[in-house]
Amino acid sequence: MAKLDIIVPIYNVEKYLRKCLDSLLNQDYSDFFVRLINDGTKDSSLEIAQEYESKYPHLFKCYTKVNGGLSDARNYGIEQSDSEFIAFIDSDDYLDHQMFSEMMSLIDDKTDIVCCDLMYVYDNGEMKVASAGDEALLKDKLSSLKLNNSACNKIFRRNLFNTIRFVKGKWYEDLATIPCVIYQAREIKMVHKPFYYYYQREGSIAHIKNEKMFDIYWAIQHIEECIQLTDWKDVKNELFIEHGLFLTSLRIKKMENIEDRKEYYRMNINHLDKLCPNWYILSIQSQYSIKTKIIFTLFKLNLYGLAAQLFKG
Rounded-to-integer distance, Cα 138 and Cα 148, Å: 12
Residue numbers of the domain that contains 104: 4-200
- pLDDT confidence band for 63 (50 / 70 / 90): very high
Q: How many domains would you assign to the chain?
A: 2
Q: What is the CATH number of the domain that holds 138?
A: 3.90.550.10
Rounded-to-integer distance, Cα 196 and Cα 16, Å: 15
Look at residue 309 in the predicted model and tell me its pLDDT: 86
Which residue, among 65, 47, 61, has the nearest Cα to 2 in the 3D structure?
Answer: 61
Question: Of 60-69, 97-106, 219-228, where does mean pLDDT reach its minimum?
Answer: 219-228
Are 159 and 290 in a shared domain? no
When mean pLDDT is compared over 114-123, 203-212, 304-313, the highest value belongs to: 114-123
Are 139 and 56 in a shared domain? yes
Handedness of CA 18, 161, 117, 235 (dihedral sign): positive
* pLDDT tens digit sequence for 232-281: 999 999 999 999 999 999 999 988 889 999 999 999 999 999 999 999 99
Which residue, among 63, 67, 54, 94, has the nearest Cα to 11 in the 3D structure?
Answer: 67
Are 182 and 236 in a shared domain? no
Answer whether 279's CB lies under 8 Å from 273's CB. yes
Look at residue 313 in the predicted model and tell me its pLDDT: 53
Are 159 and 272 in a shared domain? no
User: Does any domain span residue 206?
Assistant: no
Q: What backbone torsions phi and psi does residue 146 show, to the nearest 5 degrees? A: -95, 5
Are 147 and 235 in a shared domain? no
- Residue 306, CA atoms < 13 Å, CB-side half-sphere: 12
Are 186 and 59 in a shared domain? yes
How far, rounded to the nearest angstrom, does the alpha carbon of residue 309 sit from its chain's CA centroid?
A: 29
User: Does any domain span residue 307?
Assistant: yes
Q: What is the DSSP letter of 271?
A: H
Instruction: Kindly give the residue spans of alpha helices, DSSP state H, lying in the chain.
Output: 17-25, 45-55, 70-80, 99-104, 141-144, 173-184, 215-227, 233-239, 248-253, 258-275, 279-284, 290-300, 304-312
Are 70 and 132 in a shared domain? yes
Look at residue 229 in the predicted model and tell me its pLDDT: 80
- As a whole-number percent, the residues of the chain with pLDDT over 70 amount to 97
Are 60 and 127 in a shared domain? yes
Handedness of CA 103, 185, 36, 150 (dihedral sign): negative
pTM equals 0.93
Mean pLDDT calculated for residue range 121-148: 94
Residue 55: pLDDT over 90: yes
Are 260 and 131 in a shared domain? no
Mean pLDDT calculated for residue range 154-177: 96
Look at residue 208 in the predicted model and tell me its pLDDT: 67
User: Does any domain span residue 210?
Assistant: no
Q: Which residues pair with 6 in a beta bridge?
A: 34, 87
* pLDDT tens digit sequence for 279-306: 999 999 999 999 999 999 999 999 999 9
User: Does any domain span residue 83?
Assistant: yes
Q: Which residues of 166-205 are buried (b: 16+ CB within 10 A; e: fewer)?
A: bbeebbbbbbbbbbbbbbbbeebbbbebbbbbbbbeeeee
Are 42 and 137 in a shared domain? yes
Are 195 and 119 in a shared domain? yes
Mean pLDDT of the chain: 94
